[in-house]
Amino acid sequence: MIVRNFSAAPKKIPGTYGRYAEAVYVAASKINALDKVDAELKSFSEVLKKNKSFEAYVNNPTIPKGEKVTKIGALFEEGKVSHVSRNLFLTLAANGRIHEVNKVIAAYDELMAESKGIVSATIISAEPLKKKTFDQIQAAIVSMAGEGKTIDLKVQVNESILGGLQVMVGDKFLDLSVSSRIAALTTALDAP
């Protein structure tokens, strides 16, 4: 039997958008609608990406909060989306923070990943990794993340790091790049 703690999100996310995301997570958890709310939030984010005029409207600080509340309320009529998602959008609009909706959605995604035991990891290298090197780094990341975690691994190539690696696992960052070593050496040489 799974016992859920409805009084808290699986982790704390700093900032105002983190508090909004945590409140939405707890509210959705109480009505067993975490996945439904997740899908609704992602749909809203996609609409913003695809419809630049709507995105401009949402981000326009000169439009009065009351007008945005009315338009958002009409867009998300009761029954078309969960009351949790609707309340989030209306609250953000009423508080003059609807322009931060994508930050709130990203924070909610982070909470969902944490609740499912998914750890996001990114490897950045100056050139594509050889299979043996990739396998070694992946094993180290799995060990670093801990038992029972699923790794969502992304690999990027960024020639500007000159060599070496940068590895991000969750909120931990390890910079083993040549560019960071050069920057540190330059700073040390420039010091009085």
Instruction: Dump pLDDT digits (tens) for 22-78.
Output: 999 999 999 999 999 999 999 999 999 999 999 999 999 999 999 999 999 998 888
- 83-90's contacts with Cβ under 8 Å and 24+ in sequence apart are 84/24, 84/27, 84/28, 84/31, 84/33, 84/37, 85/24, 85/37, 85/40, 85/41, 85/44, 87/27, 88/20, 88/24, 88/41, 89/44
**How far is Cα 58 from Cα 69, in angstroms, rounded to an integer?**
11
**What pLDDT band is residue 3 in, cutting at 50, 70 and 90?**
very low
Q: Which residues of 41-56 are buried (b: 16+ CB within 10 A; e: fewer)?
A: beebbeebeeeeeebe
Q: What topology is assigned to 16-114 in CATH?
A: Peroxidase; domain 1 (1.10.520)
Banded model confidence at residue 6, pLDDT cuts 50, 70, 90: low
- State the average pLDDT for the chain: 89
